[in-house]
Structure 1
Amino acid sequence: MKASTYQSVSATPGASPPRQHPISRAGLLSKLFFHWATPLLKLGNERQLHPQDIWPLESENQCSVVGRAFEPAFNKSRSIVWTMMSAFGWQWAGIGLMQVGTVFCGLYAPVVLRQIVSSMESSSFDLTQSLQLIASLVVVRIVSSLLSAHATMQTELIGFKVTSALQHLLYQKTLQLDASSRREKSSGEISNLFSNDIPTIVFFSTIFNQLWILPIQMTLTLVLLYDVIGWATFVGAVVIVLTLGLNQVVSLGIQKNFGVMMKQRDVRMKAVNEVFGAIQIIKLNAWEEKFAEKLAAMRAVELSALWRIFAFMTVSVILLYLGPTLITLASFAAHTMLQHEALLPSKLFTAVSLFTLLKYPFSSLSFIISTTMRALVSIRRFKEFLDLSEKKTDNVLTPLTIDANRLKTFAAQDVAVAMTDATIGWDAAKPLFDKINLTVQR
């Protein structure tokens, strides 16, 4: 096997220069066609990759950098959505423009198809013009592929940054919770935020642009359909509106039951942690079956909500596959039976091509809406956790936070611990000690 020194680590400490991400020194064409990733792909084809083979993160993608930019913005707005918009808004806008360009490139194919088929239907077939149209279609397809690849890469980077930012906020908040908040939120509930809510919000951040791009794509497709089959397009549009209305009802049902399921999951995880914390007492008193029944009852409520979610999703899938077929049948039926016009090959093939393009936004819209509904539930749960009360760090001074003069005074008196007018207790409403003044010397 061929030996490789790609991104190798020198045996002598300090002998090798700091490693850099290859995109930082890549040229324009290398960035355009992702040539900067070729060495790693070649190495992976030769042997198994090792951790030292992987490039270091770019500075703007590191958690410390993302967290420093995200946390102050959140503390100012107290809104996760607005903070993400302020932190990543321009990147989302760039991704959206690339995705819109991909939509326009996709709509170019039916236009070329109609021109070529119409030319073949006419008495004079212009071969040169047809070849030019085909060549332009190839170029547009290449541009579409590049735009799609770069949009996908930037979307993944956005998801990576949102993950880092939310985990940073969650870790920081967990360390700053006061005693009452720690009693209110168990470790199981915090674990649910990590394992369920953050991935839901991150996935929403990767499909955020589709909320406004898909309606644009559907509108442009319907405009092109109107140019092909006339007002019969509106019959298909009516079917679309009816189907989207049903999808909206289904999405609201998914959102409601998703909230119920997540709330019940928190209750169950809290109970599980309490059971494991007192497992010795439970075993000693032979209470296993009793607590198992309680946990099973909680799980049954959670599964009931989950079953309703899948029932709504089943209806959504039925509408997903049935909708495009109904739209096509309704439009063609109106064109032939009501307009009394023949379906010429140029109209038929172009309309079928446009209906095929219409299938993706139509099928994706219901999924994106339901995902958005779940993300809103997760954002609300995440926000409730971030709004919990925190420890008042200014009430406790340490050698690192106290001013120099007071530190010298305490040091001169050999004071280890000092309390002035302190209120101490587990519950703020029922303190154990009030207005305590205490000095402990070394």
Structure 2
Amino acid sequence: MWPLRNQDSSIWIMTDLEKFWSQNYKEPQEELSGSGPSLSHSRSLSWSWSGGSAVLTEKTRLLSKNRKGQGYGLLVLRALWQSVGTYFLCGTLCLLLHETFMFAVPQVLSLLLAFMRDKDTEMWKGFMFASLLFLLSCLQSLLHHQYMFHCFTVGMRLKTAVMGLVYRKSLLISSAARRRCTLGEIINLVSADTQKLMDFVVYFNCLWIAPIEIALCFYFLWQVEKKKHDVHLML
């Protein structure tokens, strides 16, 4: 088997996520400390009042809100995006180029057919159109595989990050929280829900690329029908 890359290891992924989470948490932490009792920068996840003093609990701060009304869950999403967003955008760029080449193939094919019908055209144009068809097909296949590779890599990193967060949370969870969250729920979160997150990353771009593909197909079909209609009018 091929060795695992360092950036795909769980230690690397969790280290990056921890760094981005710390950066995103500084601003709301300072806002909370300025409006009330100061919060320590420890790994404890929240605080509550007990007997007039601030007591750290395991009521996660991800459910609390800062002064702007923004949930800390958004900070987790921002940290995840900063961790894998650039790699995901590279995959999206490969998808856009793949779609561009996919729609360019029929256009080049129509030029090749027009060359075959016109006997007075230079021969080098035919070789150029045939070479373009071969080149576009190769690039289309290469970009599609690169896109799928980037998507599965991002999905794997997100799955690893969420599993690591759940594992760390389960080690620090209080006895009161254990009574509300069963072991089966934790196992289901790690095994099933993280896999759904990975599948969502793979097919997310279909939500916006599919309408564009349909619109372009109708546009090119309209262009073909328009040419046929013009020919019938001329006849």
TM-score between the two structures when normalised by the length of structure 1: 0.38
1:169 is matched with: 165
Q: How big is the shift at 1:55? A: 4.0
Q: 1:78 aligns with which of 56, 64, 73?
A: 73
Unaligned segments of structure 1, at least 5 residues:
1-53, 232-334, 343-442
Matched, 1:59 2:54: no
Does the C-alpha gap of structure 1 residues 90 and 110 become closer, same or farther in structure 2, counting only changes over 3 Å? same
Q: How big is the shift at 1:158? A: 1.3
Matched, 1:211 2:158: no
Q: Distance in 2 between matches of 1:211 and 1:74?
A: 28
Q: Distance in 2 between matches of 1:111 and 1:184?
A: 61
Write the letter of the residue equivalent to 2:128.
Q
Q: 1:145 aligns with which of 133, 141, 144?
A: 141
1:178 is matched with: 174
Q: Which moved more, 1:213-222 or 1:97-106?
A: 213-222
Contact 1:71–1:169 (CA<8 Å) still a contact in 2? no
Q: How big is the shift at 1:142? A: 1.6
2:221 is matched with: 225
Write the letter of the residue equivalent to 2:180.
E
2:16 is matched with: 69
Contact 1:73–1:83 (CA<8 Å) still a contact in 2? yes
Write the letter of the residue equivalent to 2:196.
T
Q: Distance in 1 between matches of 2:85 and 2:108?
A: 35
**Residue by residue, what CA displacement relative to the aligned partner does 1:158-179 show, whole Å, maximum 9, x if unpaired?**
1221111011011011112112
2:132 is matched with: 136
1:194 is matched with: 190
2:66 is matched with: none
Q: How big is the shift at 1:157? A: 1.6
Does the C-alpha gap of structure 1 residues 78 and 116 become closer, same or farther in structure 2, counting only changes over 3 Å? same
Q: How big is the shift at 1:212? A: 2.9
Q: How big is the shift at 1:126? A: 4.8
Query: Alpha carbon RMSD of aligned pairs, Å?
Result: 2.6
Q: Distance in 1 between matches of 2:10 and 2:199?
A: 18
Q: Secondary structure at the match of 2:142?
A: helix
Q: Distance in 1 between matches of 2:149 and 2:180?
A: 40
Q: Distance in 1 between matches of 2:213 and 2:148?
A: 18
Unaligned segments of structure 2, at least 5 residues:
26-71
Q: Which moved more, 1:125-134 or 1:167-176?
A: 125-134
**Residue by residue, what CA displacement relative to the aligned partner does 1:308-362 show, whole Å, maximum 9, x if unpaired?**
xxxxxxxxxxxxxxxxxxxxxxxxxxx8xxx6976xxxxxxxxxxxxxxxxxxxx
Q: How big is the shift at 1:71? A: 3.8
1:102 is matched with: 98
Q: How big is the shift at 1:224? A: 2.3
Contact 1:60–1:66 (CA<8 Å) still a contact in 2? yes
Q: Distance in 1 between matches of 2:111 and 2:4?
A: 49
Q: Which of the two has higher C-alpha Rg?
A: 1
Does the C-alpha gap of structure 1 residues 108 and 180 become closer, same or farther in structure 2, counting only changes over 3 Å? same
Does the C-alpha gap of structure 1 residues 81 and 214 become closer, same or farther in structure 2, counting only changes over 3 Å? farther
Aligned-pair identity in percent equals 22
Q: Secondary structure at the match of 1:78?
A: helix
TM-score between the two structures when normalised by the length of structure 2: 0.68
1:370 is matched with: none
Write the letter of the residue equivalent to 1:160.
M
Q: How big is the shift at 1:85? A: 1.8
Q: Distance in 1 between matches of 2:142 and 2:170?
A: 42
Q: How big is the shift at 1:65? A: 1.5
Q: Distance in 2 between matches of 1:208 and 1:81?
A: 16
Contact 2:155–2:197 (CA<8 Å) still a contact in 1? no
How many residue pairs were aligned? 183
Q: How big is the shift at 1:206? A: 2.3
Q: How big is the shift at 1:124? A: 4.0
2:155 is matched with: 159
Q: How big is the shift at 1:180? A: 2.0
